[in-house]
Amino acid sequence: MSKASPSTGKSSDEIKQARRRLSVMSDNKLVEGFENSVTLEEPEEVASTPSEGGFIVNSYGGYSKKGYAPYNPKKKNQDALIMAEDPKTRSLLFCVMDGHGEDGDKVSQNIKSKFANYLFKHKDFENDIPAALTEVVNRCEQEVLRDTAIETDFSGTTFTCAIIRNNHCTLCNIGDSRTSIAFRNKTGGVSAINLTIDHKPDMPAEKARIEAKGGRVFAVEYDDGVDGPARVWLGHMDVPGLAMSRSLCDAVAHSAGVSSEPEFFEYDFNPDREDMILVMASDGLWEFMSDQEVMDLAYSTTEPRFAVDRLISESNERWMREEQVIDDTTVCVAFLGNFQSNAATTASSPPK
């Protein structure tokens, strides 16, 4: 378990240079595709305000939007978003999953359907959040792996979540979805830091674990001469090409050293500075936007739902400019303390 430490993430130039393709094209047809539409649908989640006063979060909202790719018009949104409150412990749960592979949408949606209920009822949730999270994440993963209706050899999901209680946040991360926070700086604007660490295969500790299990880590060079991200491969075969070192399910990748062990981070909302905005999102947002760019844009809005809409629109535009495709993008935004608290409104229906 780690204390969250400041990190400014990648700059815009570095992001543009780190080319990412949505999938490794191969004969096994396990190619990530996207719905042939970029219009917003009815939101899976809505803006809301915590049910009791005196909470660090004054309002929040989230949305999960399908991506776009011309080569696969039938694929469903593989991301999933959870926003839920537990009145008993006065806890707020945010969770984002980014599914991948043939049944990535089934993996993420299956976990979404039960995770909050399992967690809030867990015997350790009130007094030991990391212990409860560890057991519930494992339970959800094992139930998906046992479900014969879901292909899990080459399908899986990232998983990142935050439990906010009193003035403290416990974060749990598996994969490359991310949570970041912004605080007011001395110039009157905001400074951004990421609270979780993306699990990439070329991180020294992650790569060592994968190679110790017989897996390989290398990037694919594309026709334009630009290397894609580092990926995980079996020792004797060029599959599955997973672009993260930790995930849920993905049985073949796990045989090559990919792990489902969650990494925990603890963060105290800082009494010595003004924490203002928390953003959790799948890598559809972070791929072409730095933490600072995300927070600057969110800071310019008056409500979380407006921040979510602008962030998704901006990230989608950058995807089209850079890759001519758009990744599924899920964004959750929370306004903290007194930031825009007078402008926040309560939606007519609570978060699911």
Beta strands in 66-111 (DSSP E): 79-86, 91-100
Tokens linked to 276? 């203002």
Q: How confident is the model at residue 292 (pLDDT cuts 50, 70, 90)?
A: very high
What are the residue ranges of helices labelled H in 159-257?
Answer: 204-212, 251-255
pLDDT digits (tens, 9 = 90+) for 100-127: 999 999 999 999 999 999 999 999 999 9
Q: What is the predicted pLDDT for the residue at 73?
A: 82
State how far the Cα of 110 lies from the Cα of 116, in Å rounded to an integer: 12
Q: Is 202 helix (H, G, I), strand (E, B) or coil?
A: coil
Contact between 44 and 76 (Cβ < 8 Å):
no
State how far the Cα of 71 lies from the Cα of 293, in Å rounded to an integer: 30
337: left (phi over 0), alpha (psi -120 to 50) or beta: left
DSSP 256: T
pLDDT digits (tens, 9 = 90+) for 192-250: 999 999 999 999 999 999 999 999 999 998 777 668 899 999 999 999 999 999 999 99
pTM of the model: 0.86
Q: Got the DSSP string for 279-297? A: EEE-HHHHTSS-HHHHHHH
Average pLDDT over residues 42-66: 76
Q: What is the predicted pLDDT for the residue at 69?
A: 86
| Cα within 13 Å of Cα(188), Cβ side | 1
Q: Which residues pair with 24 in a beta bridge?
A: none
Q: Is 312 helix (H, G, I), strand (E, B) or coil?
A: helix
Q: What is the predicted pLDDT for the residue at 70?
A: 87
pLDDT digits (tens, 9 = 90+) for 297-306: 999 999 999 9
Residue 56 has pLDDT above 70, yes or no: yes
- Paired sense of beta strands 227-233 and 156-157, if any: unpaired
Q: What is the mean pLDDT of the chain?
A: 86
